[in-house]
Chains A and B, each alone.
Chain A
């Protein structure tokens, strides 16, 4: 199926610093990518929809100035957590809309996730 690569897989940073997470669609172009956050033993919560060439659409309660999303190309979206604090520690997952191998319908494929720990 379609492959979505996410880096880094794990990052530890000091409180107040910024962290950038990359999400790449490796073998397909993704005009739309999604960013999720998952706390331990909780479900995935959609943070924002990233659209290539335009501003991201944020879900209610998500601070757009804190979670900066850039989707500058059809294969790359980045999420920057600015001035990170311990409460931002979480598992962040990106996803992209693509086609599975041998299929014509589009589905959502997920990256492997990034565990962010803010000290």
Chain B
């Protein structure tokens, strides 16, 4: 199974500042079609997960461009610029490269 390791476990950010979350994969997420199968989600308190980023670097519809993602085949970073209070929640990375689909353990973002 592909293991996705997120860091840090939690991050506390002052509104207006930036935050970065890392996701490392135990295997390359680059598919034979040249697509990197890495996804980022935000789960706000009491809500279902919401897609932020698909295929490593593409912003999902309706997601503010304060969110961005980059990486290689195994190492990925989600960056949140100018953090707002609505960004509070748990961030997960996940992949769709092969079965079983797996997710990182999550990074909790709090506001200072």
Physical interaction between A and B:
no
